[in-house]
Structure 1
Amino acid sequence: MFKKIITVAALLGAGWVHAFMPQTGTWVVTSELDGKPGRGLAIDVQNDVFVLQMYAYENNGHPTFYLATGRLVDNQVSAPLMRYAGGRHLGSGPLSGQEAGNAGTAQFRFTSGVTGFVTLPGETEKAIARFNFGYPFAAPSLRGIWNFTSFGPLGLTAEVANLTVSGPATNTGNGIVASSDGLFGCEHQTSGNAAGGVLCVRLNAQGQLQRGYLFVYSVNEGEGYLLNASGSMTEQLVSVRRLTTPSTIGTGIVFKEAEQSQPDITLLEQALSDLATQSSLQ
Structure 2
Amino acid sequence: MSLLSRLLVTAATLWALSAQAFAPQAGTWIVSAELDGKPGRGMAIDVQNDTFVMQMYAYESSGQPTFYLAVGTLSNNQVAAPLTRYEGGRFFGSAPRSGVLAGNPGTVRMRFTSGIAGFVTFPGEPERAMHRVNFAYPFAQSSLRGVWSFNSLGSMGLTAEAVQLTTSAGSTSGGNGILATSDGRFGCEHQTSGELAGGVLCVKLNGSGQVQRAYFFVYSVNEGEGYMQSVGVADDQLLSVRRLTTPSGVGTGIVIKEEPASPADLGQLQQRLAEAALRLQR
- TM norm structure 2: 0.90
Identity percentage of aligned residues: 62
Partner residue in 2 for 1:4: 11
Structure 1 residues without counterparts, runs of 5 or longer? 12-16, 278-282
Q: Does the alignment pair 1:72 with 2:74?
A: yes
- The two structures, once aligned, show a CA RMSD in angstroms of 2.2
Mapped contact 2:108–2:123 kept (Cα < 8 A): yes
Secondary structure of the residue aligned to 1:8 is: helix
What CA deviation, in whole Å up to 9, does each residue of 1:95-147 have, x standing for no partner? 11111001100001111100111100000001110000011100000000000
Q: Structure 1 residues 238 and 267, CA, compared in 2 at 3 Å: closer, same or farther?
A: same
In the aligned structure 2, how far is the partner of 1:141 from the partner of 1:104? 40
**Partner residue of 1:190 out of 179, 189, 192:** 192
2:87 to 85, 88, 101: 85
Distance in 1 of aligned mates of 2:70 and 2:230: 45
Q: Deviations over 1:38-63 (max 9, x none)?
A: 11000000001000000001111111
Identify the residue that residue 269 of structure 1 maps to in structure 2. 270
Q: CA deviation at 1:155?
A: 1.4
Take 2:12 and 2:29, find their aligned partners in 1: how far apart are those partners? 22
The alignment status of 1:259 with 2:266, answered yes or no, reads no
Give the Å deviation of 1:8. 2.9
Which whole-Å CA distance do the structure 2 matches of 1:5 and 1:114 have between them?
A: 19
> Deviations for 1:167-191, whole angstroms, at most 9, x for unmatched residues?
1111110011000111000000001
The runs of 4+ residues in structure 1 deviating greater than 4 Å are 262-267, 271-277
Q: Which has the higher helix share?
A: 2
> How many residues matched?
271
In structure 2, do the counterparts of structure 1 residues 152 and 22 end up closer, same or farther at CA, with 3 Å as the change threshold? same
Query: Match of 1:188, as an amino acid?
Result: H
Shift of 1:156: 1.1
Give 1:226's match in structure 2, choosing from 204, 214, 228.
228
Contact 2:169 2:177 in 1 (8 A): yes
1:215 corresponds to:
217
Give the whole-Å Cα distance in 1 for the aligned partners of 2:77 and 2:17: 17
How far, CA to CA, are the matches of 1:122 and 1:113 in structure 2? Answer: 26
* Offset, 1:262: 4.2
Q: Does the Cα contact within 8 Å between 1:243 and 1:252 map onto a contact in 2?
A: yes
**Gap regions ≥5 residues in structure 2:** 1-7
Q: Distance in 1 between matches of 2:93 and 2:116?
A: 37
